[in-house]
Structure 1
Amino acid sequence: MSFLPASADAEFDLLCIGNAIVDVLAPVDAGVPEAEGLVPGSMTLIDAQRADALYGRLEPEQQTGGGSAANTAVAASLLGARTAYLGTVAADALGLAYADDLRRAGIFYPTAPLDAERAGGHSTARCMILVTPDGQRTMSTYLGACTAFGPADLDERAVARSRMLYLEGYLFDPPAAQDAFRRAAEIAHDAGRKVALSLSDPFCVGRHRAAFRALAAGHVDILFANEDEILSLYEAADFGQAAAAAARDVELAVLTRGEKGSVVFCRGERTDIAAQPTTLRDSTGAGDAYAAGFLFGLARGLAIAECGRIGAVAASEVISHFGARPEGDLRALAGV
């Protein structure tokens, strides 16, 4: 039996909500993140002045419309899913380019750019992603206009007509966004849909642990997390303990473990999925791509093991090159 209920009336397979951020990817030498006062492998929030200064010291190799949930939406679309995205940008050149980029990728993106008053004087968000030779990425994020997202920015009709709603944990900082998450989950469940949450980052979990646990237990059907994030969420001593807690809280817990593959608990039943062999160049977007592949599989009514395999294929493609978006033919690689 498929995890998703039948829904012939669905307009979209997947609607993602997250921080609308322009990703700026730059290769750097080992030691540069520490020299910039950053914790390697983590995400640090910075202000506009720091963003401008850091950007001036980098040599970007790639700039794309991104943010975690947007990366998932794009990868899912490339696999053949009908996808939509909600996230706020400013009415500036970067924001207009962001919207155009997503729409050209086949994403339904109805969110209007914010005027100066709604944006609070902020420009469109940017994330500087420093990638060291070992493939590790360290992110410095200026949130800018994406922090304005709130319940008024929900396209309630699109939420109700999407088979799955996917919420990005990075967006959870502003109180208005938290309200939007809860309202969107309510709309989705009232329409008989499933709600997924990505924890995004262990530091993000640390800031909102109690709220995330309440959200997972009360509003979420599908939880995506890596090993560090799930350990942080449940303040667990080991992975097994954290995984068991997640399996109790949600119907479907999807837990990724890098080279160890992933572990999925569906209504208490465990499925282990192997990682796909690849050469790591840049780990940016690995979790986003995995979620896209997994959710695509759910939308097609596939078995959990097959959903995980497609997710692993998508993740392996993304980490094999520089940048968070797939470059190869995901449909051919995954055989879908």
Structure 2
Amino acid sequence: MDRPVVVVTGASSGVGRAVALAFARRGGQVVLAARSAHVLDEVARECAGAHRAAHALAVPADVTDEAAVDALAQAAFAWGGRIDVWVNAAGVGILGAVDRTPPQEVRRLLDVNVMGVVHGARAALAVMCRQDSGVLIDVSSLLGPVIGAPYMSAYAMSKAALVTFDDILRQELALAGARGVAVCSVLPAAVDTPFFRHAANHTGREVRAVPPPATPERVARAVVRTARRPRRRVVVGPSARLLTWGHALAPGLVRAVVTRVTEHRCLAPRGTAPDTSGILSAPSASTAALRGGWAAGRRTALRRAALLAAAAAAGALGARSTGRAPFVGRRTRRTRLRP
């Protein structure tokens, strides 16, 4: 991982953009792929200026085009001499009930979210298996492999497919003796990106981010850690971990809560949004951005402050009732005395 050569698809916006910048800030040699050529050039300049050792190469490509993805891998190898990390972050979304979602749009989503990953994996592994080293990271989602939500059947189906694909790919690599190649699935929950503005919407309702959203930088840090220390599945963020634990303990309750939150907090009243196909077929272009404007960083800071205040209050109440020092303080002092 010394100045790694990293390929990132979906690098023009959201999580893909955050991942590219995160590797560049650590001196990575980043190859950027997306459909919006002029936006990629902008991201390449940001990456090149993020660290004195960082370099960036923009390669416009549509991940649904197998030949274009193969050309992306060839360009990355010719430029960097190897491919250390390949991050499949390109993805699109659809919101709408099953009977209101056009089948051709579902087909297009699966072509991007699933076949795009298949094309990326095949192109990356062709290089990594020759090197006998490399990390393939697929950005999936908690939605699909772990939990479900109404009006997002196509998206959830595609993300569940990625986890299954990665599981089987690991088995095949083990049988082939490619022990230097790792395959990892990263599973965030809601993230503060332009995803909801870019998604096709057939609900007739304005969409808000699922609370509380994580920052794309948090997901990017998880991807970088996974590249350094590969793990099969990485759940990102406290909200995602809480949902995972809750679903394991009480799946029916979690499904009911997610359904209610989606219906009443994530969607405005009917008639507040027109039908749109989003960026399913058109590049994000001028709407590409790192964040979606949901103030995730501020909300995260407020949640942490609230948790700390609650813990302090609970400790103070406990001290008053028992006449002893708060548990948190006593625990901290004991921890510091350990060798």
The structure carrying a bigger strand percent of its residues is: 1
Q: TM-score, normalised by structure 2?
A: 0.37
| TM-score normalized by the length of structure 1 | 0.37
